[in-house]
Amino acid sequence: MVLQEIIIAGFGGQGILSAGRLLAYAGMLGNMNVSWLPSYGPEMRGGTANCNVIITDGQVGSPILNSSTSLIVMNTPSLAKFESFVEPGGIIVIDSSLVDRKCTRNDIKVFEIPATRIASEMGNQVFANIILLGKLVAETNIISKENFELALKKTLPPRKHHLIPEEMKAFELGMNYN
């Protein structure tokens, strides 16, 4: 059975929730069962944000994750909070331009990518989440690149469609990052 339970965590405004939504949408396009659950709070911007995404070819059980198969973190507090959630053998993708310490686990695969710096060099810092997603997808094969692009088309409003080539570039950068 294919099953990925993914936690994405960071600050509000980093595209944490939208990254999770894109992943879930692409999963749906791949005929998988999916769920996406945001942490929701009174703060709209700048607070901590995280979401739980489940992609599986079986039934989605609880949408609320108490453990996960993979984790993307975009700030230090989120690493502290969620690194223990990852099951042995799972993976963590860390934005090393924003997280100032190392992961303490040695029973999981850890990938450090300076995603925010790379995105800034590309000219758009907001693509950092997409770079990290690219790495997660490359390591898990949970969705296809084609479905990710289709998910972008389906979920972005037409006035933002001109950004899609840039986003795909960021996604591929993440996929191929070593």
Binding positions for other proteins, rule: CB under 8 A = 21, 24-25, 28, 33-38, 40-42, 60-64, 66
Give 53 or 71: the residue with its C-beta nearer to other proteins. 53
The neighbour count for residue 176, using CB atoms within 10 Å, is 10
Task: Using alpha carbons, list the distances in angstroms from residue 90 to 6, 8, 73, 87, 106.
Answer: 10, 14, 14, 5, 11
Q: In whole angstroms, how close is the CB of 64 to other proteins at the nearest point? A: 6
Least CB distance to other proteins at residue 43 (A): 11
In the complex, least distance from residue 69 CB atom to other proteins, rounded to whole angstroms: 14
User: Closer to other proteins at the Cβ: 66 or 178?
Assistant: 66
- Nearer to other proteins among residue 59 and residue 106 (C-beta): 59
End-to-end CA distance of the chain: 28
Report, in Å, the least distance between residue 160 CB and other proteins: 18
How far does Cα 165 stand from its chain's mean position?
19
* Under 8 Å between Cβ of 129 and 168: no
Of 118 and 133, which CB lies nearer to other proteins in the complex structure? 133
